[in-house]
Amino acid sequence: MKLFCGNSNPQLAEAIAGHLHIPLGKATVRRFADQEIFVEIHENVRGQDVFVLQSTSYPTNDHLMELLIMIDALRRSSARRITAVIPYFGYARQDRKPGPRTPISAKLVANLITEAGANRVLTLDLHAGQIQGFFDIPTDNLYAVPVIARDVAAHYSTDNVMVVSPDTGGVVRARALAKRLDCLLAIVDKRRERPGESEVMNVIGEVKGKDCLLLDDIVDSGGTLCNAAEALLKKGAKSVTAYITHGVLSSGAVARITGSRLKELVITDSIQPTPAIEQAPNIRILSIAPLLGEAIARTAAEQSVSSLFD
């Protein structure tokens, strides 16, 4: 088994390699003067079970091309099996046609990864579960809920915790965490006026005096979380903490979070945190290296991955 990575998240790749007790594979991923991507694998991979770790995070297109070219290089080097490990799958929010003459980009990216030569995909908390069906190769969608549940149990008295979904679309995810913690569930009903903006309308559930945990898969601008936190506190919540799998945190989001009434934002390292994120006083990073490392080990050994979440 060999593990390689691109430039999107080398820190996570090193942590996973440490968990697996194997060295990170040697490869060059660099740019020509015109920003064309060049890849060279510096190890013999003939007949090997190879895993390529690469989040398709900002700059999304560059990191996606790195992944595709690395897969192609490994395929042409006669690797026995290539697994694309994509902790954050970019373009996942474009999973359907919301209007006429719009693309389904998630399906296009799935096709590109398959055609490049990947034999299987390992990813984390897809924005929409049906994206698994966009791939014509085996795809394992891992869940961060067990990691989050352990962190909540270590930091909170679960007797006073209430899990909150920031919108109706995330209820299934929030319910899974509430079931693990054996606590109640609330929902924030919001209406989105235009992309990137949201307006909180109502809180469904009694949150007075509760330590509320907002749970979602992606935080981008941070507007939804800040508005939801404000609404919960107005309803009498004792505190509001957000647990998010993928910290996209685009321009201005970190300042918005630090200036909000959120007690804490906890994100995983599926996307490599920027210095601004690491220095933010109310943002904490939770490592998913053990989860991904165990999933990789089980995939290599042809063992069950779904049993990780039993």
Three-state SS sequence of the chain: CEEEECCCCHHHHHHHHHHHCCCECCEEEEECCCCCEEEEECCCCCCCEEEEECCCCCCHHHHHHHHHHHHHHHHHCCCCEEEEEECCCCCCCCCCCCCCCCCCHHHHHHHHHHHHCCCEEEEECCCCHHHHHHCCCCEEEECCHHHHHHHHHHHCCHHHEEEEECCHHHHHHHHHHHHHHCCEEEEEEEEEEECCEEEEEEEECCCCCCEEEEEEEEECCCHHHHHHHHHHHHCCCCEEEEEEEEECCCCCHHHHHHCCCCCEEEEECCCCCCHHHHHCCCEEEECCHHHHHHHHHHHHCCCCCHHHHC
* Residue 29 placed within a domain: yes
125 labelled ligand-binding: no
pLDDT value at 196 more than 70: no
pLDDT in tens, 110-147: 999 999 999 999 999 999 889 999 999 999 999 999 99
Same domain, 41 and 173: no
Same domain, 131 and 222: no
Last residue of a domain, one of 142, 158, 186: 142
For strand 27-31 and strand 37-41, is the pairing parallel, antiparallel, or unpaired?
Answer: antiparallel
**Other CB atoms within 10 Å distance of the CB of residue 132:** 15
Is the C-alpha dihedral spanning 7, 12, 15, 21 positive or negative?
A: negative
pLDDT for 164 equals 96
Taking the C-alpha atoms of residue 221 and residue 196, their distance in angstroms, rounded to an integer, is 7
Owning domain of residue 76: 2-142
For the chain, what percent of residues have pLDDT higher than 70?
96
Q: How large is the average pLDDT for residues 276-298?
A: 96
* Confidence bin at 194 (pLDDT 50/70/90): low
* Residue 49 placed within a domain: yes
Last residue of a domain, one of 103, 119, 142: 142
* Residue 225 placed within a domain: yes
* Residue 293 placed within a domain: no
pLDDT value at 224 more than 90: no
pLDDT for 199 equals 65
Taking the C-alpha atoms of residue 265 and residue 276, their distance in angstroms, rounded to an integer, is 14
189 labelled ligand-binding: no
* Confidence bin at 158 (pLDDT 50/70/90): confident
By the 10 Å C-beta count (0-12 exposed, 13-18 middle, 19+ buried), 151 is classed as middle
Taking the C-alpha atoms of residue 257 and residue 154, their distance in angstroms, rounded to an integer, is 23
Same domain, 101 and 159: no
Q: How large is the average pLDDT for residues 209-213?
A: 96
Taking the C-alpha atoms of residue 284 and residue 267, their distance in angstroms, rounded to an integer, is 6
Same domain, 200 and 92: no
pLDDT value at 294 more than 90: yes
pLDDT value at 198 more than 70: no
Same domain, 121 and 219: no
pLDDT for 251 equals 83
Q: Give the active site residues.
A: 190
* Confidence bin at 200 (pLDDT 50/70/90): low
Number of domains the chain contains: 2
**CATH code of the domain in which 249 resides:** 3.40.50.2020
Backbone dihedral region for residue 176 (phi beyond 0: left; psi -120 to 50: alpha; all else: beta): alpha
* Residue 297 placed within a domain: no
pLDDT for 202 equals 86
pLDDT in tens, 53-72: 999 999 999 999 999 999 99
Same domain, 173 and 189: yes
Last residue of a domain, one of 89, 111, 142: 142
* Residue 301 placed within a domain: no
**Other CB atoms within 10 Å distance of the CB of residue 33:** 5
Same domain, 163 and 72: no
Same domain, 11 and 135: yes
130 labelled ligand-binding: no
Q: How large is the average pLDDT for residues 140-159?
A: 93
* Residue 273 placed within a domain: yes
Same domain, 179 and 276: yes
pLDDT value at 100 more than 80: yes
Query: Which amino acid type is present at position 251?
Result: S
Average pLDDT, the chain: 94
Same domain, 11 and 131: yes
**Tokens 């869940």 found at:** 143
127 labelled ligand-binding: yes
What would the two tokens of residue 156 be? 């909170």
Residue 241 backbone phi and psi in degrees, to 5: -120, 145
* Residue 309 placed within a domain: no
pLDDT for 190 equals 73
Same domain, 166 and 233: yes
Same domain, 102 and 160: no
66 labelled ligand-binding: no
* Confidence bin at 278 (pLDDT 50/70/90): very high
pLDDT for 157 equals 86
Q: Looking at the DSSP assignment, which residues form a beta bridge with residue 266? A: 243, 284
21 labelled ligand-binding: no
Query: Which amino acid type is present at position 256?
Result: R
